[in-house]
Amino acid sequence: MKKKIIAYNRVEQPVLDDLKEKYDVHFFENVDTKKDPAFLEHLKDAEGIIGLETPVDRDLLENAPNLKVVSNVSVGYNNLDIEEMNKRQIMATNTPGILTDTVADAVFSILTAAARRIPELDQFVKNGNWQTEAIGEEHYGTNIHHKTLGIIGMGRIGKAIAQRAHFGFDMAILYHSRSRKQDAEATFSAGYRELDELLQESDFVCMITPLTSETEEMLGFREFQLMKNSAIFVNGSRGKTIVEKDLIKALEDGEIAAAALDVFENEPVEPDNPLLKMKNVVTTPHIGSSTHETELAMSELAAKNLEAGINGENPPNLVNP
Contacting positions for ligand DGY (CB under 6 A) = 52-53, 74-76, 99, 288-289
| Amino acid letter, 245 | K
| DSSP labels, 269-310 | PPTT-GGGG-TTEEE--S-TT-SHHHHHHHHHHHHHHHHHHH
Q: Is 12 a catalytic residue?
A: no
> Is residue 233 classed as helix, strand or coil in its secondary structure?
strand
In the bound state with ligand DGY, the residue whose beta carbon lies nearer, of 53 and 265, is 53
Q: Is 223 a catalytic residue?
A: no
Active-site hit among 286, 295, 300, 307: 286
Active-site hit among 223, 238, 244, 255: 238
In the bound state with ligand DGY, the residue whose beta carbon lies nearer, of 33 and 148, is 33
**Minimal distance, residue 299 CB to ligand DGY, in Å:** 12
**Minimal distance, residue 265 CB to ligand DGY, in Å:** 15
Beta bridge partners of 148: 172
- Angstrom distance (rounded) from CA 37 to CA 56: 17
| Amino acid letter, 264 | F
CA-nearest of 78, 89, 43 to 62 is 43
Q: Is 222 a catalytic residue?
A: no
Cβ neighbors of 308 (< 8 A, separation 6 or more) are 69, 314, 315, 316
CA-nearest of 275, 211, 284, 286 to 241 is 211
In the bound state with ligand DGY, the residue whose beta carbon lies nearer, of 71 and 74, is 74
In the bound state with ligand DGY, the residue whose beta carbon lies nearer, of 42 and 155, is 155
Helix (H) or strand (E) holding 7: strand 4-8
Q: For the CA atoms of 15, 21, 22, 26, what is the dihedral angle to 10 degrees? A: 70
**Minimal distance, residue 73 CB to ligand DGY, in Å:** 8
**Minimal distance, residue 168 CB to ligand DGY, in Å:** 22
**Minimal distance, residue 305 CB to ligand DGY, in Å:** 13
Active-site hit among 62, 216, 267, 270: 267
In the bound state with ligand DGY, the residue whose beta carbon lies nearer, of 95 and 148, is 95
- Size (the chain), residues: 321
What are the residue numbers of the active site? 238, 267, 286
